[in-house]
Structure 1
Amino acid sequence: MQDVQNTPAGIPLAIDRVGVKDLRFPLLVQDRERGHQHTVSRVDMFVDLPAHFKGTHMSRFVEVLQDFSGILDYPNFKNLLREVRQRLQAHRAHLSFSFPYFLHQNAPVSASASLMDYQCTLHGELDDADQLRMFLQVQVPVMTVCPCSLAIADEGAHSQRAMVTMNCRFAGMLWLEDLIHIGQHAASCQVHSLLKREDEKFVTEKAFATPTFVEDVVRNAAHQLQSHELISWFRVEVESFESIHNHSAYACIEAPGSQTGAGQ
């Protein structure tokens, strides 16, 4: 049969990334407390395409993924990228796993147990020199109380949920739990999945005792990321879903970490 993908392109322009998006695949990820946990990932897989090829072979991405063990660690991740690059005869391969990660959580007063989920993404790029660049992203929901509103109001202040998104390049084993902890403690209060009345009282009073602007939250998180011994670069973004405004408040810091020049 004719290999149409390998015929000359009508417009000979190189393509930076071509491939498949939104595949679903089961994963086994490392859990610091319990060893590992099962989850389901959304997978994106891309390669570069030279100008002289009309197209890539999309089915090969799926074939490579079907042979993957599903155990997400550094050796398996790099080998999967290497296999994508080789099977597609590319110079550079890109791979992303996006998945919910669950932590067991106890309410602050009643100690009621529940599971809290955090959206995570592991992204990697492998070039033809076999150099791997990895980035880990975690989204952590939090609560903020506005310092200005609290200072000027006779009663109360406006409060809202916010999202802390941290994207890091790193060396060694960077635990998801470390990033989640940083996000949780950057704002007025962390968000819980299960609260009794005594817990709600505690959470509300704690949040109002620690009012934070979106600028405070992004600086608090950046300070911790910058001092983390395994992080060589980071970008932290905070979006506050304002409760009394018809818009969100936003702040971002991108900077090198303590391990500048290092990283996988």
Structure 2
Amino acid sequence: MTADSLPDVQGAPDTRGIDIDEVGIGGLRYPVFFDDGVIEQSGVAEIEVVVGLPADRRGTHMSRMVQAVESYLGRVNPYELHTVFKAVAVLLDTSDLRISLALPVPTRVESPATQNSGYQVHDLALYGRLIDDEFQLTSTVTTDVTTLCPCSKAISDYGAHNQRSRVSLSTHGENDSPYPVQMVDAVQLIRDASSCPVYPVVKRPDERAITMAAYDNPKFVEDLIRDLTSSCRELAVPHDITARNIESIHSHDAVARVSWAARGAEHVSRPTSLDVERS
């Protein structure tokens, strides 16, 4: 039997009168080549493709979604995703398309004293949505840094507790400006906002330099996100930030979040930092 002679059950009408917000495929792991003009890397991404389904349609054609990934997402350039989404929307016969893609991306980092080089891996997630002809893209970079507690430093005769902090910076673009901050720049913004970056290769001179750099630049989790959002606001880039200190002396983590909409005089900052007892 040919495909044309088989019943198209998904394409049948539905009479229940209920729109579906999102339906599609998730957890698809697929090889991609990421290229934003600075980073060029092959890897395996985890991908989700969903559409809004009108009330009169029984189902969506999920096999076409895998074909769309094969045909249009083998090479991912954030600057070209608006065009890619339009082509996928035509293939899937939808006016409401959402695709998310996540993969680890390494950059080379030199240790501060000995200049030994190694790869540090960051997590990159892209979430795009096309509604009719309007395209929005959120790019999220997550990486680790070091923070040293200002209170611990101030109240101790010597030393201060410090910890690794995991920071996610999401920047938002749209239409012809979908990717306002490149991945390597987002990583650098996060590292610059910390007490000290982390490094893949640390020799004794590096460890000394790192320890003293963090001690000279203590930051609460609130300080970290305030400094990071200040840098992003100077760039006039809408963004969301989440920072999590994986505490070294507490039995809990310290978490802070802030968002900034970059809407001219209507800038809105929505901090939801959790109050953490310092003593």
- Residue of structure 2 equivalent to 1:121: 125
For the 8 Å contact 2:172–2:180, the answer to whether it is kept is no
How far apart are the structure 2 equivalents of 1:176 and 1:256? Answer: 20
2:199 aligned to which of 189, 192, 198:
192
What amino acid sits opposite 2:135 in the alignment?
L
What amino acid sits opposite 1:118 in the alignment?
H
2:219 aligned to which of 197, 203, 212:
212
For the 8 Å contact 2:111–2:199, the answer to whether it is kept is yes
How far apart are the structure 2 equivalents of 1:92 and 1:116? Answer: 36
Structure 1 residue ranges without an equivalent (≥5): none
For the 8 Å contact 1:29–1:38, the answer to whether it is kept is yes
The structural deviation recorded for 1:31 is 5.7
- Residue of structure 1 equivalent to 2:161: 158
For the 8 Å contact 2:171–2:181, the answer to whether it is kept is no
What amino acid sits opposite 2:261 in the alignment?
P
Runs of 4+ in 1 over 6 A off after TM superposition: 258-261
| Structure 1 position 234 matched with structure 2 position 239 | yes
How does 1:64-213 map onto structure 2 within 5 Å? 64-68=68-72, 70-74=74-78, 76-128=80-132, 130-170=133-173, 171=177, 174-213=181-220
For the 8 Å contact 2:191–2:197, the answer to whether it is kept is yes
- Residue of structure 1 equivalent to 2:273: none
How many pairs align?
Answer: 257
How far apart are the structure 1 equivalents of 2:149 and 2:79? Answer: 45
What amino acid sits opposite 1:199 in the alignment?
D
Amino-acid identity (%): 30
How far apart are the structure 1 equivalents of 2:43 and 2:181? Answer: 19
How far apart are the structure 2 equivalents of 1:183 and 1:139? Answer: 9
What amino acid sits opposite 1:140 in the alignment?
T
How far apart are the structure 2 equivalents of 1:208 and 1:5? Answer: 61
Q: Which moved more, 1:73-82 or 1:38-47?
A: 73-82
How far apart are the structure 1 equivalents of 2:263 and 2:115? Answer: 36
Structure 2 residue ranges without an equivalent (≥5): 1-5, 267-279
Q: Secondary structure at the match of 2:69?
A: helix
Question: Normalising to structure 2: TM-score of the pair?
Answer: 0.85
How far apart are the structure 2 equivalents of 1:169 and 1:201? Answer: 38
1:247 aligned to which of 245, 252, 269:
252
For the 8 Å contact 1:144–1:187, the answer to whether it is kept is yes
For the 8 Å contact 1:30–1:36, the answer to whether it is kept is yes
2:17 aligned to which of 12, 15, 22:
12
The structural deviation recorded for 1:236 is 0.9
